[in-house]
A = this chain, B = another copy of it.
Amino acid sequence: MNTALAYFTNLQINIIRAIEKLDGNKFYLDHWHKDNHSPLQGYGITGILENGQVFERAGCSFSSIRGSNLPSAATQKRPELAGCAFQAMGVSLVFHPHNPYLPTVHMNVRLFKVEYPHVPEQELVWYGGGMDLTPYLPFAEDAKHFHGVCKSTLEVFGHDLYEQFKKNCDDYFFLPHRHEQRGIGGIFFDDFHAFDKDTNFQLLQAVGDSLLPAYLPIALKRKDLPYSQDELDFLYYRRGRYVEFNLIHDRGTHFGLRSGGRTESILMSLPPKVTWSYLPSQRIKDLENELVTKYLIPRQWL
């Protein structure tokens, strides 16, 4: 786990430095420990920037936890592992910009280790993560750029991986109660261990390292575009969908909250200002129609 620890902590700090340079404001780094009386032990560094110049809220966190009782939410594909001791380590980030032309981005890379009881040497290690983009006032070229970086990142490891991980992402980031995708997708993988240990980890690193090239060019292009009050209202309104996905559907959020994780760090993914409305204005309905029918559907972007 030492190689992973070094990689993850460096990744967090590299991303934070790049985002600070873009934003102009600094992250607050909150070091935390979960005490021994909790069902979950561990520590982490929650990096958070609120009311920045580009980002209304940007969170980029490292955490390393160890639990004695794997919750079933984490093991839908492997129910036999529920109740086992486990370790999880990773970096997770969500950036919510002020500007409705600049999409929200989410990235996560993690390593998961489960121990069968009484057979400590029989460890299971698997890899998970991905990144996805949620635009509000969308540009097709941004979606193409983001997916392009995802594809070239994975191509080194196998020609079908991008298509496979893209489909996982479309399947996962879907709101059944709205019949909508959360965003324009990206890549997502879970319980991954298809290659040898070193290659699995190299793939994880490649995904983590590709966040900045996937997102920064979009951020630079969109962060200063002028927008109207209507468009800002639309951003707050659509952020409601982001909250709905994370609180109703996201397995990571449920896993974290149910396993006794640190609530403030887990819910760092929620957007800062959000509205719900039963009777949105015609302008909001028009913007929503454009977004939902042309972008929030599974699409080939490349």
Residue of B30, B236, B257 touching A177 (CB-CB under 8 A): B257
Chain B residue with the shortest CB-CB distance to A175: B263
Contact code string A272-302 (vs B, CB < 8 Å = 1, else 0): 1111111100000000000000000000000
CB distance from A15 to the nearest CB of B (A): 17
Q: Give the chain B neighbours of A272 by CB distance below 8 A.
A: 275-277
Q: Give the chain B neighbours of A244 by CB distance below 8 A.
A: 247, 267
Residue of B30, B46, B263 touching A178 (CB-CB under 8 A): B263
- Residue total for A at the interface (Cβ-Cβ under 8 A): 33
Report copies per complex: 2
Whether B278 contacts A271 by the Cβ 8 Å rule is no
Whether A267 contacts B276 by the Cβ 8 Å rule is yes
- Contacts A243-B243, A257-B248 given; indicate if A275 touches B273 (C-beta within 8 A): yes
- Contacts A240-B270, A243-B247, A247-B248 given; indicate if A278 touches B257 (C-beta within 8 A): no
Q: Give the chain B neighbours of A243 by CB distance below 8 A.
A: 243, 247, 274
- Asked if A135 is at the interface (CB within 8 A of a chain B CB), the reply is no
